[in-house]
Amino acid sequence: METVALLSVAGAVAAVFVPAFVRNLHASRLVEPLEGLRAIGASATALAVERGPTQAYPPSVGLTPEEVPAGESVEDPAGTWDQPTWKELGFKFERPHYYAFAFDSESSKSGSSFTARAHGDLDGDGLLSTFKLSGEFKMGDEAVLYPLEMDREVE
């Protein structure tokens, strides 16, 4: 009888804590795009202040790695983050990760702008979560970083 009571209490505890653990695990994976974009934004803004508004940001670079990891973390082959823009921004992964990143920039005589994106597919269903950070540096103004935007498919 005591064994049955113990198993029933253990089952109830597991029913409460296992879903919470899984939710927390998924939430912790959201740190990767948020911290990654924060680092990219900080580096891009520092470069902009050094260079001035007409050539403020490094050139665009496509999605890195080229395919968004689907449902599992990936470890990049050597050289994945060796593109000059990623080097200028000081951005790379040296551990397995769940997101792919892209950096788009535009320059003109009146100023420059950038958009950095992180794309992920944590559950491997082909629907992506997208996080976006933008900034600009216009003539006569200071470099500005805009609030993070999220288009997050429920993972």
Distance between CA atoms of 43 and 9, rounded to whole angstroms? 52
Inform me whether the pLDDT recorded for 12 exceeds 60: no
pLDDT in tens, 44-55: 999 999 999 999
pTM: predicted TM-score of the whole model, two decimal places: 0.80
Instruction: Locate 17 and state its tokens.
Output: 């804590």
- pLDDT confidence of residue 29: 75
Check whether the bond before 65 is cis (ω within 30° of 0).
Answer: yes
Q: What is the pLDDT of residues 117-133, one digit of tens each?
A: 999 999 999 999 999 99
Tell me how many domains the chain contains. Answer: 1
Provide the CA 4 distance to its chain's centre, in angstroms. Answer: 47
Coil, strand, or helix at residue 133? strand
Which 3 state secondary structure label does DSSP give 66?
coil
β-strand partners of 151: 130
The chain-wide mean pLDDT, for the chain, equals 87
For residue 152, the model assigns a pLDDT of 79
pLDDT in tens, 68-112: 999 999 999 999 999 999 999 999 999 999 999 999 999 999 999
Q: How many Å apart are CA 149 and CA 134, to the nearest integer?
A: 9
In the beta sheet, which residues pair with residue 130? 119, 151
Mapping DSSP to helix (H, G, I), strand (E, B) and coil, where does residue 39 land?
Answer: helix
**Which residues constitute the domain of residue 62?**
2-151
